[in-house]
Amino acid sequence: TDKCPAFYQATASQGDDQLSGFVVFILGLVILFICLFAMVQILQKMLLGMSTRIIYKATNINGYLAMLVGVAITILVQSSSITTSTFTPLVGMGVIRLEQMYPITLGANIGTTITALLAALLSDAAAMQVALAHLFFNISGIIVWYPIPFLRKVPLHAARQLGKATRIWKGFPIMYIFVMFFIVPLIFLGLSALFTNGAIGLTVLGAMCTILLFAAIVYGVYWWRWKGGKDSCYECLVTRQKRSDAMKDLPDDMEFLKAKIRELQEHTGLIDSDVESVDNTKEGSDAEATNEGASTEEAVESA
Protein backbone atom coordinates (compact mmCIF):
# COMPACT_ATOMS: atom_id res chain seq x y z
CA THR A 1 0.00 0.00 0.00
CA ASP A 2 0.99 3.65 -0.20
CA LYS A 3 1.42 3.73 3.59
CA CYS A 4 4.32 1.27 3.78
CA PRO A 5 7.64 3.13 3.30
CA ALA A 6 9.63 -0.13 3.16
CA PHE A 7 7.96 -1.51 0.03
CA TYR A 8 6.29 1.47 -1.62
CA GLN A 9 7.83 4.34 -3.54
CA ALA A 10 5.89 6.78 -5.67
CA THR A 11 8.64 6.86 -8.32
CA ALA A 12 9.33 3.11 -8.38
CA SER A 13 9.61 1.29 -11.70
CA GLN A 14 7.93 -1.97 -12.63
CA GLY A 15 11.13 -3.86 -11.78
CA ASP A 16 11.17 -2.28 -8.31
CA ASP A 17 7.57 -3.29 -7.75
CA GLN A 18 8.30 -6.87 -8.84
CA LEU A 19 11.31 -7.07 -6.56
CA SER A 20 9.28 -5.72 -3.64
CA GLY A 21 6.55 -8.25 -4.34
CA PHE A 22 9.09 -11.10 -4.40
CA VAL A 23 10.59 -9.97 -1.09
CA VAL A 24 7.14 -9.76 0.51
CA PHE A 25 6.31 -13.23 -0.83
CA ILE A 26 9.47 -14.73 0.74
CA LEU A 27 8.81 -12.95 4.04
CA GLY A 28 5.24 -14.23 4.03
CA LEU A 29 6.41 -17.81 3.52
CA VAL A 30 8.94 -17.51 6.34
CA ILE A 31 6.35 -16.06 8.72
CA LEU A 32 3.85 -18.76 7.69
CA PHE A 33 6.29 -21.58 8.43
CA ILE A 34 7.29 -20.02 11.75
CA CYS A 35 3.64 -19.66 12.80
CA LEU A 36 2.80 -23.23 11.76
CA PHE A 37 5.79 -24.60 13.65
CA ALA A 38 4.86 -22.60 16.76
CA MET A 39 1.24 -23.75 16.43
CA VAL A 40 2.27 -27.41 16.34
CA GLN A 41 4.52 -26.99 19.40
CA ILE A 42 1.81 -25.21 21.36
CA LEU A 43 -0.81 -27.82 20.44
CA GLN A 44 1.48 -30.65 21.49
CA LYS A 45 1.95 -29.08 24.92
CA MET A 46 -1.68 -28.10 25.41
CA LEU A 47 -3.39 -31.28 24.23
CA LEU A 48 -2.43 -33.56 27.06
CA GLY A 49 -4.60 -35.59 29.40
CA MET A 50 -8.29 -34.75 29.54
CA SER A 51 -8.20 -32.13 26.77
CA THR A 52 -7.29 -34.81 24.21
CA ARG A 53 -10.33 -36.92 25.09
CA ILE A 54 -12.60 -33.86 25.08
CA ILE A 55 -11.52 -32.83 21.57
CA TYR A 56 -11.83 -36.42 20.35
CA LYS A 57 -15.42 -36.65 21.56
CA ALA A 58 -16.29 -33.15 20.32
CA THR A 59 -15.16 -33.98 16.78
CA ASN A 60 -16.71 -37.44 16.73
CA ILE A 61 -19.86 -36.25 14.95
CA ASN A 62 -21.69 -36.96 11.73
CA GLY A 63 -19.58 -36.35 8.63
CA TYR A 64 -21.96 -33.86 7.03
CA LEU A 65 -22.20 -31.93 10.29
CA ALA A 66 -18.40 -31.90 10.49
CA MET A 67 -18.40 -30.51 6.96
CA LEU A 68 -20.59 -27.63 8.11
CA VAL A 69 -18.22 -27.03 11.01
CA GLY A 70 -15.33 -26.79 8.54
CA VAL A 71 -17.32 -24.30 6.44
CA ALA A 72 -18.15 -22.15 9.48
CA ILE A 73 -14.59 -22.10 10.81
CA THR A 74 -13.17 -21.20 7.40
CA ILE A 75 -15.69 -18.40 6.91
CA LEU A 76 -14.72 -16.96 10.29
CA VAL A 77 -10.96 -17.03 9.67
CA GLN A 78 -11.26 -16.40 5.89
CA SER A 79 -8.64 -19.04 5.09
CA SER A 80 -8.82 -22.78 4.55
CA SER A 81 -5.06 -23.01 5.16
CA ILE A 82 -5.54 -21.95 8.77
CA THR A 83 -8.25 -24.56 9.29
CA THR A 84 -6.33 -27.44 7.75
CA SER A 85 -3.03 -26.36 9.35
CA THR A 86 -4.69 -26.34 12.75
CA PHE A 87 -6.36 -29.74 12.48
CA THR A 88 -3.59 -31.61 10.62
CA PRO A 89 -1.20 -31.71 13.63
CA LEU A 90 -4.09 -33.00 15.73
CA VAL A 91 -4.43 -35.93 13.35
CA GLY A 92 -0.70 -36.56 13.53
CA MET A 93 -0.84 -36.63 17.34
CA GLY A 94 -3.82 -39.00 17.32
CA VAL A 95 -6.24 -36.50 18.83
CA ILE A 96 -8.54 -36.63 15.77
CA ARG A 97 -9.04 -39.63 13.53
CA LEU A 98 -8.44 -39.31 9.82
CA GLU A 99 -12.10 -40.11 9.11
CA GLN A 100 -13.09 -37.10 11.23
CA MET A 101 -10.58 -34.79 9.58
CA TYR A 102 -11.71 -35.65 6.05
CA PRO A 103 -15.15 -33.93 6.10
CA ILE A 104 -13.73 -30.93 7.98
CA THR A 105 -11.21 -30.46 5.17
CA LEU A 106 -13.95 -30.72 2.55
CA GLY A 107 -15.97 -28.11 4.41
CA ALA A 108 -12.92 -25.85 4.56
CA ASN A 109 -12.60 -26.09 0.78
CA ILE A 110 -16.16 -24.81 0.43
CA GLY A 111 -15.70 -22.12 3.08
CA THR A 112 -12.70 -20.67 1.30
CA THR A 113 -14.85 -19.92 -1.75
CA ILE A 114 -16.99 -17.54 0.32
CA THR A 115 -14.15 -15.01 0.32
CA ALA A 116 -14.13 -14.96 -3.48
CA LEU A 117 -17.92 -14.66 -3.57
CA LEU A 118 -17.87 -11.68 -1.20
CA ALA A 119 -15.19 -9.99 -3.30
CA ALA A 120 -17.13 -10.73 -6.50
CA LEU A 121 -20.20 -8.94 -5.14
CA LEU A 122 -18.31 -5.67 -5.55
CA SER A 123 -17.00 -6.48 -9.01
CA ASP A 124 -18.38 -7.30 -12.46
CA ALA A 125 -20.15 -10.39 -13.81
CA ALA A 126 -16.91 -12.07 -14.91
CA ALA A 127 -15.61 -12.08 -11.34
CA MET A 128 -18.86 -13.61 -10.10
CA GLN A 129 -18.60 -16.33 -12.77
CA VAL A 130 -15.11 -17.21 -11.62
CA ALA A 131 -16.17 -17.29 -7.96
CA LEU A 132 -19.18 -19.50 -8.74
CA ALA A 133 -16.99 -21.81 -10.84
CA HIS A 134 -14.68 -22.14 -7.83
CA LEU A 135 -17.61 -22.92 -5.56
CA PHE A 136 -19.27 -25.50 -7.79
CA PHE A 137 -15.94 -27.14 -8.61
CA ASN A 138 -15.45 -27.89 -4.91
CA ILE A 139 -19.07 -28.97 -4.49
CA SER A 140 -18.74 -31.33 -7.47
CA GLY A 141 -15.61 -32.86 -5.95
CA ILE A 142 -17.44 -33.45 -2.68
CA ILE A 143 -20.38 -35.06 -4.48
CA VAL A 144 -18.00 -37.44 -6.24
CA TRP A 145 -15.67 -38.39 -3.38
CA TYR A 146 -17.74 -38.27 -0.18
CA PRO A 147 -21.32 -39.62 -0.33
CA ILE A 148 -20.39 -43.03 -1.81
CA PRO A 149 -18.55 -45.10 0.86
CA PHE A 150 -16.36 -46.92 -1.69
CA LEU A 151 -15.10 -43.69 -3.25
CA ARG A 152 -14.74 -42.13 0.20
CA LYS A 153 -12.08 -44.72 1.03
CA VAL A 154 -9.90 -43.72 -1.94
CA PRO A 155 -8.54 -40.39 -0.58
CA LEU A 156 -8.36 -41.83 2.93
CA HIS A 157 -6.25 -44.74 1.69
CA ALA A 158 -4.06 -42.36 -0.31
CA ALA A 159 -3.54 -40.18 2.77
CA ARG A 160 -2.50 -43.19 4.85
CA GLN A 161 -0.06 -44.37 2.18
CA LEU A 162 1.51 -40.92 1.95
CA GLY A 163 1.79 -40.85 5.73
CA LYS A 164 3.53 -44.24 5.75
CA ALA A 165 5.93 -43.11 3.04
CA THR A 166 6.74 -39.97 5.06
CA ARG A 167 7.36 -42.06 8.16
CA ILE A 168 9.79 -44.29 6.22
CA TRP A 169 11.66 -41.45 4.48
CA LYS A 170 11.51 -37.92 5.86
CA GLY A 171 12.39 -36.39 2.49
CA PHE A 172 9.32 -37.84 0.76
CA PRO A 173 7.04 -34.78 1.33
CA ILE A 174 9.52 -32.50 -0.45
CA MET A 175 9.74 -34.87 -3.41
CA TYR A 176 5.94 -35.26 -3.49
CA ILE A 177 5.36 -31.49 -3.50
CA PHE A 178 7.98 -30.98 -6.23
CA VAL A 179 6.50 -33.68 -8.47
CA MET A 180 2.79 -32.99 -7.94
CA PHE A 181 2.92 -29.18 -7.89
CA PHE A 182 5.69 -28.53 -10.43
CA ILE A 183 6.48 -31.50 -12.68
CA VAL A 184 2.92 -32.73 -13.31
CA PRO A 185 1.45 -29.25 -14.01
CA LEU A 186 4.34 -28.50 -16.37
CA ILE A 187 3.66 -31.72 -18.28
CA PHE A 188 -0.02 -30.92 -18.74
CA LEU A 189 0.65 -27.29 -19.58
CA GLY A 190 3.13 -28.45 -22.20
CA LEU A 191 0.58 -30.83 -23.74
CA SER A 192 -2.04 -28.10 -23.70
CA ALA A 193 0.35 -25.71 -25.46
CA LEU A 194 1.02 -28.29 -28.18
CA PHE A 195 -2.69 -28.70 -28.92
CA THR A 196 -3.60 -25.00 -28.77
CA ASN A 197 -0.67 -23.66 -30.81
CA GLY A 198 -2.54 -24.08 -34.11
CA ALA A 199 0.24 -25.82 -36.02
CA ILE A 200 -0.61 -29.27 -37.39
CA GLY A 201 2.85 -30.64 -36.63
CA LEU A 202 2.65 -29.60 -32.97
CA THR A 203 -0.84 -31.09 -32.71
CA VAL A 204 0.45 -34.43 -34.03
CA LEU A 205 3.36 -34.24 -31.61
CA GLY A 206 0.94 -33.52 -28.76
CA ALA A 207 -1.17 -36.56 -29.71
CA MET A 208 1.92 -38.78 -29.75
CA CYS A 209 3.08 -37.43 -26.39
CA THR A 210 -0.39 -38.02 -24.93
CA ILE A 211 -0.38 -41.63 -26.13
CA LEU A 212 3.09 -42.18 -24.68
CA LEU A 213 2.06 -40.60 -21.39
CA PHE A 214 -1.04 -42.79 -21.20
CA ALA A 215 1.05 -45.90 -21.95
CA ALA A 216 3.57 -44.89 -19.27
CA ILE A 217 0.78 -44.49 -16.71
CA VAL A 218 -0.69 -47.90 -17.59
CA TYR A 219 2.71 -49.57 -17.35
CA GLY A 220 3.40 -47.77 -14.06
CA VAL A 221 0.18 -49.15 -12.57
CA TYR A 222 1.01 -52.64 -13.88
CA TRP A 223 4.55 -52.41 -12.49
CA TRP A 224 3.28 -51.18 -9.12
CA ARG A 225 0.61 -53.85 -8.69
CA TRP A 226 2.02 -56.98 -10.34
CA LYS A 227 5.77 -56.53 -10.92
CA GLY A 228 6.90 -55.77 -7.39
CA GLY A 229 7.02 -52.01 -7.81
CA LYS A 230 5.53 -51.38 -4.39
CA ASP A 231 8.18 -53.46 -2.64
CA SER A 232 10.93 -51.86 -4.71
CA CYS A 233 9.76 -48.36 -3.77
CA TYR A 234 9.53 -49.39 -0.12
CA GLU A 235 13.09 -50.70 -0.15
CA CYS A 236 14.29 -47.56 -1.90
CA LEU A 237 12.71 -45.30 0.74
CA VAL A 238 14.12 -47.41 3.58
CA THR A 239 17.59 -47.31 2.03
CA ARG A 240 17.47 -43.54 1.60
CA GLN A 241 16.39 -43.02 5.20
CA LYS A 242 19.10 -45.37 6.51
CA ARG A 243 21.68 -43.50 4.46
CA SER A 244 20.45 -40.18 5.80
CA ASP A 245 20.47 -41.45 9.40
CA ALA A 246 23.96 -42.90 8.94
CA MET A 247 25.32 -39.60 7.61
CA LYS A 248 23.63 -37.72 10.43
CA ASP A 249 24.96 -40.06 13.15
CA LEU A 250 28.42 -40.52 11.64
CA PRO A 251 30.18 -37.72 13.61
CA ASP A 252 28.76 -38.99 16.91
CA ASP A 253 29.67 -42.58 16.06
CA MET A 254 33.24 -41.58 15.17
CA GLU A 255 33.64 -39.70 18.43
CA PHE A 256 32.26 -42.69 20.34
CA LEU A 257 34.71 -45.04 18.62
CA LYS A 258 37.62 -42.70 19.28
CA ALA A 259 36.68 -42.48 22.95
CA LYS A 260 36.51 -46.28 23.22
CA ILE A 261 39.90 -46.64 21.52
CA ARG A 262 41.44 -44.15 23.96
CA GLU A 263 39.96 -46.07 26.89
CA LEU A 264 41.48 -49.30 25.60
CA GLN A 265 44.85 -47.67 25.16
CA GLU A 266 44.81 -46.17 28.66
CA HIS A 267 43.51 -49.17 30.61
CA THR A 268 44.73 -52.27 28.77
CA GLY A 269 47.59 -51.27 26.52
CA LEU A 270 46.61 -54.09 24.19
CA ILE A 271 46.44 -51.89 21.15
CA ASP A 272 49.91 -50.42 21.69
CA SER A 273 51.46 -53.84 22.21
CA ASP A 274 49.68 -55.17 19.13
CA VAL A 275 50.96 -52.26 17.09
CA GLU A 276 54.51 -52.83 18.35
CA SER A 277 54.31 -56.56 17.61
CA VAL A 278 53.03 -55.85 14.11
CA ASP A 279 55.87 -53.37 13.54
CA ASN A 280 58.47 -55.84 14.84
CA THR A 281 57.06 -58.60 12.66
CA LYS A 282 57.17 -56.32 9.63
CA GLU A 283 60.78 -55.30 10.36
CA GLY A 284 61.79 -58.97 10.77
CA SER A 285 60.17 -59.91 7.50
CA ASP A 286 61.96 -57.08 5.71
CA ALA A 287 65.31 -58.16 7.20
CA GLU A 288 64.79 -61.77 6.17
CA ALA A 289 63.86 -60.70 2.65
CA THR A 290 67.03 -58.58 2.47
CA ASN A 291 69.23 -61.45 3.68
CA GLU A 292 67.67 -63.88 1.22
CA GLY A 293 68.26 -61.43 -1.63
CA ALA A 294 71.91 -60.97 -0.64
CA SER A 295 72.54 -64.72 -0.43
CA THR A 296 70.96 -65.22 -3.82
CA GLU A 297 73.21 -62.58 -5.38
CA GLU A 298 76.32 -64.21 -3.81
CA ALA A 299 75.31 -67.62 -5.18
CA VAL A 300 74.87 -66.17 -8.61
CA GLU A 301 78.28 -64.43 -8.52
CA SER A 302 80.08 -67.61 -7.34
CA ALA A 303 78.41 -69.61 -10.09
| Cα gap 38→52, rounded to integer Å | 19
pLDDT at residue 278, as a whole number: 43
Between residues 169 and 7, the one the model is more confident about: 169
Contact 104, 66 (CB under 8 A): yes
Res. 35: pLDDT tops 60? yes
Determine phi and psi for 124, rounding to 5 degrees.
-90, -175
Comparing 47-51, 154-158, 299-303, the range with the smallest average pLDDT is: 299-303
| Cα gap 108→72, rounded to integer Å | 8
pLDDT at residue 231, as a whole number: 86
pLDDT at residue 78, as a whole number: 77
pLDDT digits (tens, 9 = 90+) for 218-272: 999 899 888 888 888 888 888 888 887 777 766 766 777 777 777 777 777 655 5
DSSP class of 182? I
| Cα gap 116→129, rounded to integer Å | 10
Res. 174: pLDDT tops 60? yes
pLDDT at residue 149, as a whole number: 87
pLDDT digits (tens, 9 = 90+) for 100-147: 889 989 999 998 888 888 888 887 888 888 889 989 999 999 998 898
Nearest Cα residue to 70 out of 98, 106, 100, 117: 106
Comparing 162-166, 179-183, 222-226, 248-252, the range with the smallest average pLDDT is: 248-252
What is the pLDDT of the chain when averaged over all its residues?
A: 79
| Cα gap 132→129, rounded to integer Å | 5
| Cα gap 267→259, rounded to integer Å | 12
Q: Give residues with Cβ within 8 angstroms of 240, minimum separation 6.
A: 169, 171
Contact 117, 75 (CB under 8 A): no
Res. 303: pLDDT tops 50? no
Residue 254 neighbours by CB distance under 10 Å: 10
CA angle 118/120/122 to nearest 5° reads 90
